[in-house]
Amino acid sequence: MEGEHRAGTSERSSVGPQAEYDELVRRSRERALLGSCSSLLGWDEQTYLPRGGSSYRGDQMALLAGLHHERATDPSLGDMLARVEGSPLAAVPGSVEAANVREWRRQYDRSTKLPRALVEEIARATTVAQGEWVAARAASDFARFRPWLEAIVGLKRREAECLSAAGSVPYDALLDEYEPGASVADLGVLFESLRAVLVPLVEAIAGSHRNRPAKPEHADYPVDRQRIFGEAVAGAIGFDFGRGRLDVAAHPFCSGIGPGDCRITTRYDPKDFTDGFFSILHEVGHGLYEQGLDPSHQGTPAGEAVSLGVHESQSRLWENAVGRSRAFWEHWLPLARQVFRDPLHAVDLDAFHASINRVEPSLIRVQADEVTYNLHILIRFELEQALIGGDLPVADLPLAWDEKYRRYLGITPPDAASGCLQDIHWAAGLFGYFPTYTLGNLYAAQLHARADADLGGLDPAIARGDFAGLLGWLRERIHRQGQRYRAADLIRLATGESLDHRPLIRSLRAKFAPIYDL
C-alpha cells in the first residue's frame, strides 16, 4: 500500500507541468539533432558532394525530413503542449519557458498542417534541383532548369495552401516561415517607402559631378592569399575557427550545424579579392550570431536565431556598416597591401574606400552596392508573389525578370545566368526568403545607430582593429536572446525604436553624400 502510494506520488510529479516541459525540451533537442544531420548533408551538398551523388542525397534529405516531421507532428507532443500552455510555467511573459512554449506551438501548428509526403517531396525535389540549378546556371540555360522550377513552385504553392487560413494571402504563409509575423501588407508599405527614396538617390548619384570611383583594380589576387587574409580578418572580428570553418561554394552561405560547428562558405575571383572578401565578412556576421547563441538553451527556441531578417541584420552590419567603412580599412588596408602587394601596394585609403562603395545599377544581387541592393530584393519580392499567387507562369519568368530590371534599375541581363538563374534560392524552395534581406538591412541600420550611440562612437575602436565592444553589444542585445522575443519586439527592446526605414536612409546618405558630393 505504501509502495502504491509512493508510486502514485511519483507518477503525479512525473506528469506535472515541469516534467512535461522537460520532456518537451528533450524532444525539441532531439528534433534539433535530427535537423543538424540535415544541415550537414545540405552543407556537403553545396561544397563537396560528387555530381553523381545528387539524387541519393535527395533521398537522404527526404528521409531525414520525414523523420523530423513525424516527431514534429506527434499527437502526444500536441497534448503535452496544450497542458503546459495552460500551466503557470508558460505564464511569465519574457521567460525562457514562455518563449519556448510559444514557439513550439507555432512550429507544431505549422507542421501538423503539412502532410509528411509533401515535406519529403519538397526535401527530395529541392535537393536535386539545386544540382540542376548549378548546371543550368553554368550553361545559362533556363529551359534546362524550367521543369525543376515548375515542380518546386507547384510544391510550394501546395505548401502555402496547406498553411494558409481561408481568405488569407498564401504567400504570407511562406514569409512566416522565415520571418514570423511578417506580412505582404506590411512589407509592401515598407518597400514602397524605401523605393520612393532609393530610386531618386540612385539617380542623384548617377548625375553626380564627381567621377564614379574606379572599381578595385582587376589584377592578380591568388586564391590562397585571399583565403588567408579572409580567415585572418574573420578571426580578428571574433569568428571562432575552433568551432567553425570556411569553405568554397558556388553560392556563399552560413550553416549553423550544431553547437561548436558553424560553417561559412565563400567563392574566390582570382581577379578581384573584394567579391570573396565581402562574402566572407557577410557570412561571418551570420556565423557570429550562430556562435553567440546561448548554449544552455541549445536545441530549443530560446537558443535559436529569432528570424532570418535579424540573422541578415548581423551579416549586413558586419559586411556593410563595419566592413565598408573607412575606419575598418584604416586598420586592415596596410595588411592587405602586404598580402596583395602587386595590385594594392600603391592604393590610397580614400580611393580604396570609394572603390568598395561604388554605386551603380548592376545585374547581380550579391555584388550590388548598398544603395541599389534593395531594388534587387523588391524585384524578387514582386516576382515570387506572382509565381506563388499563380499570376506568373514559370515559363514567363525570364521575360518578367528582365522587364523589372529595365524598370527599376534601367539595365537588362544579357543572359539567364546573370538574370533569373543567378540565385540558388528558388531551386532550394526558399520562397518568402528574399524579403528578409531587406528587413536585415533595415534592422542592421537601426542596430548600428544604437550601438554607435551606446558605445560612444564605434569608429575609433574599429580603426584600431578592436571589435570586442560592438560584438559584446550584439551578443547581449541579440545573440543571447534567442527567440525570447519575436523579431519586431527584440529590435524594439534593443534599439528603443520600432522597425523604420529612416535609419537605413540616414546611414546611406551619411556614407554616400561625401563620396558623391550630393
Order of all β-strands in the sheet with 261-266: 244-248, 261-266, 254-258
Residue 125 C-alpha cell reads as: 525535389
CB of 32 to a copy of itself, least distance (A): 10
The residues in 330-359 that bind a copy of itself, with binding defined as CB under 8 A, are none
DSSP 219-249: ----HHHHHHHHHHHHHHHT--GGGEEEEE-
Selected range binding a copy of itself among 55-63, 171-179, 229-237, 342-350, rule: CB under 8 A: 55-63
Contact pick of 186, 240, 269, 459 for a copy of itself (by CB under 8 A):
240
Could you say whether residue 71 binds a copy of itself (CB under 8 A)? no
Contact pick of 20, 27, 46, 54 for a copy of itself (by CB under 8 A):
54
CB of 249 to a copy of itself, least distance (A): 13
Selected range binding a copy of itself among 49-57, 83-91, 401-409, 452-460, rule: CB under 8 A: 49-57
Give strand pairing partners of 265. 247
Phi, psi torsion values for 181, nearest 5 degrees: 95, -15
Instruction: Tell me which DSSP letter residue 242 carries.
Output: G
Whether the CB-CB separation of 420 and 398 falls below 8 Å is answered with yes
User: Distance between CA atoms of 259 and 290, rounded to whole angstroms?
Assistant: 8
Could you say whether residue 65 binds a copy of itself (CB under 8 A)? no
Nearest to 462 by CA among 326, 352, 279, 336: 326
3-state secondary structure of 353: helix
User: Distance between CA atoms of 348 and 336, rounded to whole angstroms?
Assistant: 12
User: Distance between CA atoms of 381 and 436, rounded to whole angstroms?
Assistant: 10
Could you say whether residue 223 binds a copy of itself (CB under 8 A)? no
Whether the CB-CB separation of 380 and 426 falls below 8 Å is answered with no
CB of 70 to a copy of itself, least distance (A): 11
CB of 320 to a copy of itself, least distance (A): 27
Whether the CB-CB separation of 464 and 331 falls below 8 Å is answered with yes
Report the residue number, 263 or 448, with the smaller CB distance to a copy of itself.
263
Can you give 417-468 as a three-state secondary structure string?
A: CCCCCCCCCCCCCCCCCCHHHHHHHHHHHHHHHHHHHHCCCCHHHHHCCCCH
User: Distance between CA atoms of 389 and 170, rounded to whole angstroms?
Assistant: 7
Q: How far is CA 490 from the centre of its chain?
A: 17
CB of 245 to a copy of itself, least distance (A): 5
Residue 404 C-alpha cell reads as: 523589372
Report the residue number, 40 or 335, with the smaller CB distance to a copy of itself.
40
CA distances to 167, 176, 315, 321, 390 from 170, rounded to whole Å, are 9, 10, 29, 35, 10
The residues in 29-48 that bind a copy of itself, with binding defined as CB under 8 A, are 30, 33-34, 36-37, 40-41, 44, 48
Query: Of residues 283, 290, 312, 319, which has the active-site annotation?
Result: 283
Whether the CB-CB separation of 433 and 377 falls below 8 Å is answered with no
Contact pick of 9, 203, 241, 341 for a copy of itself (by CB under 8 A):
241
Contact pick of 19, 67, 248, 364 for a copy of itself (by CB under 8 A):
67
The residues in 388-447 that bind a copy of itself, with binding defined as CB under 8 A, are none
CB of 152 to a copy of itself, least distance (A): 22
Whether the CB-CB separation of 114 and 123 falls below 8 Å is answered with no
Contact pick of 50, 93, 207, 456 for a copy of itself (by CB under 8 A):
50
Selected range binding a copy of itself among 8-16, 257-265, 324-332, 340-348, rule: CB under 8 A: 257-265
Could you say whether residue 511 binds a copy of itself (CB under 8 A)? no
Contact pick of 1, 3, 4, 52 for a copy of itself (by CB under 8 A):
52
User: Distance between CA atoms of 93 and 262, rounded to whole angstroms?
Assistant: 31
Could you say whether residue 73 binds a copy of itself (CB under 8 A)? no
CB of 315 to a copy of itself, least distance (A): 20
Contact pick of 186, 217, 247, 500 for a copy of itself (by CB under 8 A):
247
Backbone region of residue 432 per phi and psi (left: phi > 0; alpha: psi in -120 to 50; beta: other values): left
Could you say whether residue 507 binds a copy of itself (CB under 8 A)? no
Selected range binding a copy of itself among 240-248, 367-375, 405-413, 449-457, rule: CB under 8 A: 240-248
330 is catalytic: no
CB of 262 to a copy of itself, least distance (A): 8
CB of 440 to a copy of itself, least distance (A): 26
Whether the CB-CB separation of 386 and 395 falls below 8 Å is answered with no
Could you say whether residue 222 binds a copy of itself (CB under 8 A)? no
Report the residue number, 59 or 360, with the smaller CB distance to a copy of itself.
59
DSSP 171-206: HHHHHHHHSTT--HHHHHHHHHHHHHHHHHHHHHHH
Could you say whether residue 303 binds a copy of itself (CB under 8 A)? no
Report the residue number, 23 or 500, with the smaller CB distance to a copy of itself.
23
Instruction: Kindly state the number of chain residues that form the binding site for a copy of itself, as judged by CB under 8 A.
Output: 37
Can you give 261-325 as a three-state secondary structure string?
A: EEEEEECCECCEHHHHHHHHHHHHHHHHHHHHCCHHHCCCHHHCCCCHHHHHHHHHHHHHHHCCC
Could you say whether residue 261 binds a copy of itself (CB under 8 A)? yes
CB of 33 to a copy of itself, least distance (A): 5
Could you say whether residue 60 binds a copy of itself (CB under 8 A)? yes
Could you say whether residue 25 binds a copy of itself (CB under 8 A)? no
Nearest to 45 by CA among 37, 141, 318: 37
Phi, psi torsion values for 160, nearest 5 degrees: -60, -40
Could you say whether residue 206 binds a copy of itself (CB under 8 A)? no
Which sequence positions are flagged as catalytic? 283
Binding site for a copy of itself (CB under 8 A): 30, 33-34, 36-37, 40-41, 44, 48-57, 59-60, 63-64, 67, 240-245, 247, 257-263
